[in-house]
Amino acid sequence: MTLIIEGMTCDGCSAAVRGALESLGVKVVRVSWSEGVAEVEDLGEADEDAIREAIEGMGYRLVKIIKS
């Protein structure tokens, strides 16, 4: 699954998004601020609303969730 995220501008942003997702139990594969994506392997117990709230609560924008 790929999350398209706007607003990340540095490695710190990527780390913050990774940390927020992992705190929800999401298994994160990779977060790239330059590409504006977070690739996840497993959502764990988190639902899409919780993921959106975590990302947008940090000031970023979750544009789209692409399920693979």
The residue segments making up the domain with residue 37 are 2-66
Enter the DSSP assignment of 45. T
| CATH number of the domain within which 41 lies | 3.30.70.100
Number of folded domains that form the chain: 1
pLDDT value, residue 68: 77
- What's the rounded Cα separation, in Å, for the pair 46 and 62? 15
Q: Element (H or E) spanning 67, and its range?
A: none
26-33, Cβ contacts within 8 angstroms, sequence gap of 24 or more: 26/51, 33/8, 33/9
Q: Residue 51's CB: how many other CB atoms inside 10 A?
A: 21
The pLDDT profile of the chain, 68 residues, written as one tens digit per residue, is 999 999 999 999 999 999 999 999 999 999 999 999 999 998 888 999 999 999 999 999 999 999 87
